[in-house]
Amino acid sequence: MKSALFICFQHLIPQHALSRLVGWLASNRTVWVKNALIRRFAQHYRVDMSEAADPVLSNYPHFNAFFTRALLDNARPLPEQQDLVVCPADGNISEMGKLEQGRILQAKGRSYSVTALLGGDAQRAAAFDNGHFATVYLSPRDYHRVHMPYGGTLREMIYVPGDLFSVNQTTAENVDNLFARNERLVCIFDTDIGPMAVVLVGAMIVAGIETVWSGQVAPQPKTPQLTRYQSLPEPVVLKRGDELGRFWLGSTAIVLFGADKVDWLQGWQAGRATRMGEAMGQLHTVQSAD
């Protein structure tokens, strides 16, 4: 009953207006306002500031700066082994596994189309047929920068307008096509093992999505926006572990690889807590016949 009421409430409220209002508040620089917001949030969610590059709450100019705070340089060491794919963010695994018939598992009994997630282009989605996916949910207390799971060159970025449902477990289990109907930013990278997609999914009260190459991207006018990057004089090249983007309030990152490119490591499954930079997969190797 509580879940049904929660979902009904999200259908009824003005999702975008509420999110923009929260965004305005989160960027407020009035000292007593921003200090009160940051302090109450840090206490309520038990945010670990010992990892932050600046652990002093009052030093942040507004709530968004605190929420997207940088970590100490050694807070998230990467594995030395170069054939390991790393987790893009702190949080929890919502679902991960293999793509089946062009669909991604959302929650038990629910799945959604890869084509829809990536902006409706079937040719773009075909590159990931029978590949692997991982969905990482960033909770409010987590570090909210998203990093590269594997090194690559940005090919294109697609902003897809949509709803702003919450992306927690309750909505994942009860809202059809959740991640393919919410506002999102699709980033397609070319790597030495083929294309990789990293999708930054917006959610209720997420005031914006930002990338390291173009600044704030969402929200935008409510029409899809495609930006191609192959023809730039200086391509956007990011190494494994480099920062890719960040959320202004938390949400979800989805990673896609093509068929027979990666294998997820044992123990990685729905419900697992994650830390950015830890190994979650290994490049797929073909076993030769004896």
Catalytic residues: 90, 147, 251
CA 188 – CA 175 distance, rounded (Å)? 26
Which DSSP string corresponds to the chain? -HHHHHHHHHHHS-HHHHHHHHHHHHT---HHHHHHHHHHHHHHHT--GGGBSS--GGGSSSHHHHHTPPBPTTSSPPPS-TTEEE--SSEEEEEEEE-BTTEEEEETTEEEEHHHHTTS-HHHHHTTTT-EEEEEE--TTS--EEE-SS-EEEEEEEEE--B----SHHHHHHSTTHHHHB-EEEEEEEEBTEEEEEEEE--TT--EEEETTTEEEES--SS-EEEE-TT-SS--EE-TT-EEEEEES--EEEEEE-TTSEEEPTT--TT-EE-TTSEEEEE--PPPP-
**Please, are residues 44 and 35 in contact by the beta-carbon 8 Å criterion?**
no
Closest by alpha carbon to 276, among 92, 50, 38?
92
Residue 36's contacts (CB-CB under 8 Å, 6 or more residues apart) are: none
